[in-house]
Every structure is written in C-alpha cells, then in structure tokens.
A = this chain, B = another copy of it.
C-alpha cells in the first residue's frame, strides 16, 4: 500500500515479551520533571548490553498527577521481574531521589505485580522520614538538603512487549533523520509506549547472529546497509534509498504499540525524500508478536 505517495511494504515487525515497570515522575516545573526522567532512563537502549531498556513515555499536566505538579511517565523494561526490581531501585534511587524537585509515583497502581521500591528508598531517610497520604497515594516524605523527597510506596509492573518497529528508508540521510524525528515526536504524544534508543531512533538496525564473525550474537544488517548495496547480492536496499533509520517501540499492549507504529509512520511519510517504510523481522524466530504494517491503517 501507499501512504502520502510512499510505499508501505507488506511485511511485519516482529516483537517479543518483556517485563515493564511504569513510574510517574513529577517536578516543580515540566522542565525539571523531564531532567529527572531523562537521567533515570539513560543508558537504556537495548538489553543486549544495557542493564534495562528505558524511555520517557509521555509528559502530563498537573491535573493528571497525585501532587498536582507537571510530570512524565517513564517505562523501565527487563526480561524478568528480579532484574526489573533491581533496576527500579538503582535508577529511581540514584536518578530520581537525587534529582532537583522530583517526586516519584506508581505508574501502574492497578497492576497485579507491585514492587515496594518507594518503601525501600525511604531508608535513605535514616529514621527521619515520615509517612503521608498525598492525592490518595500512600507515600513517604524523606527529609533532604533540598527539602523533602516524596516517594509513593509501590511501583507496578506488568507483561509488555519489546521490539515493535518500523524502518524509514529515504534517498538522503538527513531526510531519513527528519522523518525519524517526526515519528518520535508523534509517538511521544501517545500513551503506553516508549522509543528507548537515542533520541528515539536507531541508526544501526541489526540482524540476529552473524555472517562472518561467529562469536557475535547481533551484527549489522548488511542487507539493509545502503553503503553495501552494490556489494551484496541479496541487498534489500532499493536503488533510490541511501539511508535507513529504525524506530523501535516498547509498550504495555499490542494496541498501544499498533497505535504508535501507525502515528509514527504517518508522521514519517510527510518528509520529502522518504521512499519506503518497511519493518524488521527474523522469519518469526525472535518473538511471538507480529505487527503487519498494512493492517495498521
């Protein structure tokens, strides 16, 4: 099919299960809430070598938060709940508790799985902390140099999906990049998903395994590498394409990821120079979730 004159290939994105914790970080202003959220989700692109995949889901106004201050939802993702609990403790303890004006709230208060991360962090208060009910949430007030840090008792987690994705193929790298930025901006308005890579964008979409280096688990996807299109016989790079960016999306549900893929693709095809939209899959061997691009619209 075509969208704004751009071919959307009849293929699918292949995704896999992951565990996701969701935290709401508030701050004195929107800007300071985002400072904490950004530090807490850094070094969090791929579980291949990062301790977690993490990202900012969506900024929210004060009328949607327990303390009435502006904030942002973040997601932290790992393969199991044990690693997830450790990442929550470390990332919230080191990057949110320490951040100017930040407070932390349960982003999935109705989830079955609940970690008591806020309870654990209260021990930083060394006995000077107190319990409080704020906006209907059980929380702790921890005295500190700046004043107080407010931490809700629990943080909820649930089964989620990692690796939703699509490829943006353009005749020029800057066109592909502007399209990718546009896609990430559009997805950032939506609930339930994150784009964990730098700026939400993957420059180095990979393949599982190797062609030449037997000791590698993931390597460059040479069939989708524009600089190799004349050198590889089974290249998948169209003749008029010189750059490809991938948008990887993690999220709480199939619906959330589908909605974000749709919004991202619609935003990307508006940029002049975008030639084709495709997606990454591994013959169905990587994960049980399949997102058919043409069924999104």
In the bound complex, what is the Cα–Cα distance between A210 and B242 (angstroms)? 39
The answer to whether B273 and A186 touch across the interface, beta carbons within 8 angstroms, is no
In the complex, the chain B residue whose C-beta lies closest to that of A229 is B143
The answer to whether A199 and B35 touch across the interface, beta carbons within 8 angstroms, is yes
The answer to whether B227 and A147 touch across the interface, beta carbons within 8 angstroms, is yes
In the bound complex, what is the Cα–Cα distance between A178 and B27 (angstroms)? 11
A28: shortest Cβ distance to chain B, in Å? 6
The answer to whether A90 and B176 touch across the interface, beta carbons within 8 angstroms, is no
Partner of A146, one of B126, B243, B271: B243
In the bound complex, what is the Cα–Cα distance between A125 and B204 (angstroms)? 10
Partner of A70, one of B126, B182, B206: B182
A117: shortest Cβ distance to chain B, in Å? 12
A267 interface residue (CB < 8 Å to B): yes
Q: A51: which B residues are within 8 A, CB to CB? A: 43, 51
The answer to whether A94 and B227 touch across the interface, beta carbons within 8 angstroms, is no
Q: A270: which B residues are within 8 A, CB to CB? A: 28, 62, 67-69
Complex interface residues of chain A between 43 and 80 (CB less than 8 A to chain B): 43-46, 48-51, 54, 61-63, 67-70
In the bound complex, what is the Cα–Cα distance between A147 and B176 (angstroms)? 11
Partner of A45, one of B98, B128, B182: B98
A89 interface residue (CB < 8 Å to B): yes
A-side interface size class? 35 or more
Partner of A63, one of B41, B94, B125, B266: B266
A291 interface residue (CB < 8 Å to B): no
Task: Tell whether A68 pairs with B35 under 8 Å between CB atoms, given A178-B174, A186-B61.
Answer: no
**A 110-149 to B, binary, CB cutoff 8 A, 1 in contact else 0:** 0000000000000111111000000000000011111111
In the complex, the chain B residue whose C-beta lies closest to that of A52 is B43
Q: A198: which B residues are within 8 A, CB to CB? A: 35-36, 38-40, 95-96, 98-100, 102
A172 interface residue (CB < 8 Å to B): yes
A30 interface residue (CB < 8 Å to B): yes
In the bound complex, what is the Cα–Cα distance between A160 and B146 (angstroms)? 28
The answer to whether B100 and A203 touch across the interface, beta carbons within 8 angstroms, is yes
Q: A32: which B residues are within 8 A, CB to CB? A: 177, 199
Q: A218: which B residues are within 8 A, CB to CB? A: 124
The answer to whether A127 and B211 touch across the interface, beta carbons within 8 angstroms, is yes
A216 interface residue (CB < 8 Å to B): yes
The 6 lowest CB-CB distance pairs between A and B, nearest first, are A42-B42, A127-B212, A126-B219, A99-B198, A172-B172, A39-B198
